[in-house]
Amino acid sequence: MPDYPIIGEVVHLDPSLDALLDPDARIERLASGLTWSEGPAWDRAENRLLFSDIPRNTIYEWTDARGLRVFMQPSGYTGVAYYGQEPGSNALTFDSDGRLCMCEHGDRRVSRLDPRGGKRTLADNYQGKRLNSPNDLAYRSNGDLYFTDPAYGLPERYEDTVNRELPFCGVFLLRPSGEVVLLSDELEYPNGVAFSPDEQTLYVTQSGAESAIVMAYRLGDDGTFADGKVFFDATAHTGSMIGLPDGLAVDENGNVFTTGPGGVWVLTPNAEPMGRISPGVSVANACWGEDGSVLYLTAHMHLCRIRTKTIGARW
């Protein structure tokens, strides 16, 4: 196995962190030279990590044996005209059949890669109006797909009056039937999504500097939710630390690893901070990989990982 450079630090805020991260755990930098890395997903069938570089309109694959390779290009925009600074795919995940699903900024859709060739559009509009730029997504075990739709991927982002069709940024549910259900239009900057281990709570991050929060929504029997509550508020740290809430991952015991100011905050199921995994740059997203105990981080121009003493939820 290659000897990777060590970057950043693990900040211990409470002794309880020792149950999740060895005191000697270090952040390995696996690859660098990226533009804005995002949306990591572990491919169990091929034993590899896939992740997006949004500005480069590219999905990369990474393994210890082969290093970094281009997996798909273009990944999220197939047009011929210029389409802003973030046209590519964002978050990636796999469905229950092992098919790669992705959020596409430029083509403004949630799609699935067909093993027989090409892609299939899963959702590209709500009530006939095109989505803004799907950002993150997560499957529930019953086949329900939850995704967020901020405006970061539009050419002029939130000021894009030419291309934008929806007057809000939503949190959506895509049912297996194909029905797209609006769950919330109250968050201006909805971003990352992840489930609690029992799939009864949906966590949604908001990446606003003045409201840098993680929301928790209790799901009903039909998969929808009513009012949520603020699970974690990192707003006080946005002026002094690099980064905002973006993607997040949850372990088998309900501990939440959420990106935010200063890296990845490690929180108990009651939102008590235990520590931070801080590579020294903004962290966009995180996912579990390998045997479920390794946390991969897409951190600006870097791809990183850290070995833990826990296992990802539903692994």
The amino acid at residue 113 is: L
Looking at domain 6-307, which of 3.40.50.1100, 2.120.10.30, 3.40.50.620, 3.40.50.1820 is its CATH number?
Answer: 2.120.10.30
C-beta of residue 85 within 8 angstroms of C-beta of residue 133: no
Domain extent listing, the chain: 6-307
- Give me the residues paired with residue 119 across strands: 113
Residues of the chain with pLDDT under 50: none
C-beta of residue 88 within 8 angstroms of C-beta of residue 52: yes
Phi/psi region, residue 71 (left: phi>0; alpha: psi -120 to 50; beta: rest), is alpha
Which pLDDT value is given to residue 286? 98
Which residues have CB under 8 Å from 71's CB, separation 6+?
50, 58, 59, 60, 61
And the tokens for 244? 């905002």
Which pLDDT value is given to residue 204? 98
DSSP assignments along 223-276, one per residue: S-B---EEEEE-GGGTTTSS-----EEEBTT--EEEEETTEEEEE-TT--EEEE
The amino acid at residue 256 is: V
Q: How many Cβ atoms sit within 10 Å of the Cβ of residue 268?
A: 16
Which pLDDT value is given to residue 115? 87
- 3-state SS string for 175-230: CCCCCEEEEECCCCCEEEEEECCCCCEEEEEEEECCEEEEEEEEECCCCCECCCEE
C-beta of residue 109 within 8 angstroms of C-beta of residue 134: yes
Indicate whether this model's pTM tops 0.85: yes
Which pLDDT value is given to residue 228? 94
20-49 residues labelled b (16+ CB within 10 A) or e (exposed) = bbeeebbbbbbbeebebbbbbbbbeeeebb
Q: What is the DSSP letter of 81?
A: S
